[in-house]
């Protein structure tokens, strides 16, 4: 009997270990939320700055920019449609793995109208929300168990706690398992997450006009008793742990902000008073500070609603404003090590050294050969043009260019630097292949963006190459775009 019990205990332990290891394989690894949580779990050393929030934070803040400008090392933990109770559980999850100097909490969940945000716990004591099962991306542990227990009926806890059970239909997804084992973690999760800030397009004039003519109900914009309860939990725990907190607004569309200004500013005023007793807490009301953002800084949302997100242009602006605020108001421990990222090189341009092994050039801009232009170094994009298309090539000697990633960067001073994402397309440069060989097969590129995704001004053009081992190389093309 004792042997049988012993074997049973050993089986349960082995089952638990295997389930813990395999559990992440059953999640949708293409989702940005998965990459967000994984960036927390993949962190190999302590971070001094952590951002927590919703999709507004995911789209609205590039922590690579913040790290480059402030010298910090940060993580961004984000979800979708989370209420303050779910933010609280993400706060607990962060403290399981990190003890940063500063945690920045994005506050859209406190402004968003709707009962799911205002009253996160229903009359039966259960957690409700637009994304009720947000906990699924957490690792199995006491925090996930507590949140699961609060979110589902008792009989369903095991089913929702273990993704192995919940997504049991994926047991036969051999292609998915192969992706996970071979390629799923090749790019660090934080880099996969960063690519999402570069999506969304530009809000069209016709949709912007719809915002102007839509009547928005502001009655649901208020700070409820339940929201204050969960805020208190966060504030008290931060005080106990000796962690500084910064609550932050990510900008919304200026037309909506002006229409709902009274209600939105009312919540801001209430939050300001609420935070006053806490010496470790600050509040950066970015929306009130700038009055929202214009159309070209906003994503082209599918629906006209209170829920808006900035695009990459808006993200660059917001990330720089937040960085400037952090530099002015906090003395974070600065990482003096060389950070190998495109943002670090470009925002700290003194690190850019001439690289004689980096070859490249710009052949065409908006389908016109640069060699035929009157000014070959200062290229003007006129008011009548609505896009920017650059064709060129880049190659770095001494690396495997076929397994490297290429990007183009447009630098307007130190507060606005656009680094390409999916707009960068590989182009076969046949002339280079004929002249130099097959190692130049992937040296050509085409880069195309709408002109209005850039601010007006003068941009210096840089080439970037990132190797499969994560090392970055940069080339100053000594060419400028003048965007009018």
Q: What is the residue whose two structure tokens read 């609280």?
A: 88
- Whether residue 460 sits in one domain with residue 401: yes
Shared domain check, 442 and 320: no
By residue count, the chain amounts to 484
Four-residue CA torsion sign, 114, 120, 126, 128:
positive
pLDDT at 160: 73
Q: Could you tell me if 379 and 301 lie in one domain? A: no
Radius of gyration of the chain measured on its C-alpha atoms: 25
| Other CB atoms within 10 A of residue 20 CB | 14
CA angle 372, 373, 378 (to 5 degrees): 145
Is 395 within a domain? yes
* pLDDT tens by residue, the chain, 484 residues: 666 665 555 654 555 554 555 555 555 556 778 888 888 998 888 899 999 999 999 999 999 999 999 999 999 999 999 999 999 999 999 999 999 999 999 999 999 998 889 999 999 999 887 776 788 888 888 998 899 899 888 887 777 777 665 555 555 555 555 555 554 445 788 888 888 888 889 999 999 999 999 999 999 999 999 999 999 999 999 999 999 999 999 999 999 999 999 999 999 999 999 999 999 999 999 999 999 999 999 999 989 999 999 999 999 999 999 999 999 999 887 766 655 688 988 998 766 778 899 999 999 999 999 999 999 999 999 999 999 999 999 999 999 888 899 999 999 999 999 999 989 999 888 888 888 888 888 899 999 999 999 999 999 999 999 998 888 999 999 999 999 9
- Pair 317, 369 in one domain: no
Indicate if 304 and 417 belong to the same structural domain. no
254 and 390 part of one domain: no
| Together in a domain, 240 and 359 | no
**Maximum CA extent, the chain:** 92
Number of helices followed by number of strands (H, E) in the chain? 20, 15
Cα four-point dihedral sign 78, 79, 80, 85:
negative
Task: Please tell me whether residues 275 and 419 are part of one structural domain.
Answer: no
Whether residues 315 and 355 share a domain: the answer is no
Output the CA–CA distances (angstroms, integers) from residue 204 to 197, 375, 382, in the order listed.
18, 33, 20
CB-neighbour burial class of residue 160 (10 A; exposed 0-12, middle 13-18, buried 19+): buried
| Shared domain check, 243 and 110 | yes
In a domain, 204, yes or no: yes
User: Which residues fall within 8 angstroms of residue 217, CB to CB, at 6 or more apart?
Assistant: 113
Residue 14 lies in a domain: no
Say if residue 322 is in the same domain as residue 359: no
Residue with tokens 């920045």: 104
Residue 185's pLDDT is what?
Answer: 47
Q: Which of 329, 356, 379 is the last residue before a domain boundary?
A: 329
Query: Is residue 185 domain-shared with residue 80, that is, in the same domain?
Result: yes
State the residue range of the domain holding 133: 27-329
Rounded CA separation 379/365 (Å): 8
Report the CATH number that the domain containing residue 466 is assigned in CATH. 2.60.40.10
pLDDT at 26: 52
Domain count of the chain? 2
Query: Are 54 and 80 in contact, with CB atoms under 8 Å apart?
Result: yes
Q: What is the pTM of this model?
A: 0.90
Mark residue 129 as left, alpha or beta (left: phi above 0; alpha: psi -120 to 50; beta: remaining).
Answer: left
């Amino acid at each position: 009997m004792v042997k049988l019990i012993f074997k049973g205990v050993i089986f349960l332990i082995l089952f638990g270990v295997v389930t813990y290891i395999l559990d992440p394989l059953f999640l949708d690894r293409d989702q940005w939320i998965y990459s967000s949580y994984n960036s927390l779990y993949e962190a190999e050393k302590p971070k001094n700055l952590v951002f927590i929030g919703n999709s507004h934070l995911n789209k609205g803040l590039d922590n690579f920019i913040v790290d480059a400008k402030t010298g910090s090392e940060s993580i961004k933990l984000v979800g979708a449609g989370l209420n303050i109770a779910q933010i609280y559980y993400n706060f607990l999850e962060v403290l399981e793995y990190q003890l940063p100097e500063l945690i920045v909490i994005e506050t859209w969940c406190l402004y968003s109208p709707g009962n799911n945000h205002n009253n996160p716990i229903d009359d039966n004591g259960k957690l409700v929300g637009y994304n009720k099962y947000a906990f699924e991306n957490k690792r199995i542990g006491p925090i996930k168990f507590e949140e699961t227990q609060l979110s589902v009926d008792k009989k369903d806890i095991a089913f929702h706690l273990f993704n192995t059970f919940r997504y049991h239909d994926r047991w036969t997804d051999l292609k998915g398992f192969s992706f996970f084992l071979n390629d799923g973690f090749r790019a660090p999760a934080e880099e996969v997450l960063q690519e999402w800030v570069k999506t969304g397009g530009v809000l069209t004039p016709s949709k912007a006009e719809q915002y102007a003519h839509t009547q928005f109900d502001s009655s649901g914009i208020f700070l409820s008793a339940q929201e204050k309860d969960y805020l208190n939990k966060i504030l008290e725990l931060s005080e106990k742990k000796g962690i500084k907190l910064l609550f932050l607004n990510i900008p919304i569309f200026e037309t909506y902000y002006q229409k709902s200004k009274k209600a939105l500013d009312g919540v801001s005023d209430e939050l300001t008073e609420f935070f006053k007793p806490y010496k470790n807490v600050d509040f950066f009301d970015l929306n009130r500070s700038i009055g929202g953002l214009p159309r070209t800084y906003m994503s082209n949302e599918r629906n006209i609603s209170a829920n808006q997100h900035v695009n990459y242009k808006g993200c660059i602006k917001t990330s720089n404003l937040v960085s400037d605020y952090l530099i002015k108001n906090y003395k974070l421990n600065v990482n003096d090590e060389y950070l190998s990222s495109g943002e670090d090189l470009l925002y700290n341009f003194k690190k850019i050294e001439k690289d004689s092994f980096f070859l490249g050039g710009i052949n065409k801009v908006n389908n016109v050969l640069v060699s035929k232009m009157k000014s070959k170094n200062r290229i003007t994009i006129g008011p009548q043009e609505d896009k920017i298309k650059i064709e060129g090539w880049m190659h770095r000697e001494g690396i495997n260019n076929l397994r490297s990633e290429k990007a183009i960067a447009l630098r307007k001073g130190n507060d606005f630097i656009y680094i390409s994402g999916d707009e960068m397309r590989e182009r076969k440069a046949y002339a280079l292949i004929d002249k130099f060989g097959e190692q130049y097969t992937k040296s050509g590129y085409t880069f195309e963006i709408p002109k209005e995704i850039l601010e007006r001004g003068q941009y210096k053009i840089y080439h970037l190459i990132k190797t499969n081992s994560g090392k970055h190389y940069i080339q100053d093309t000594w060419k400028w775009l003048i965007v009018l």
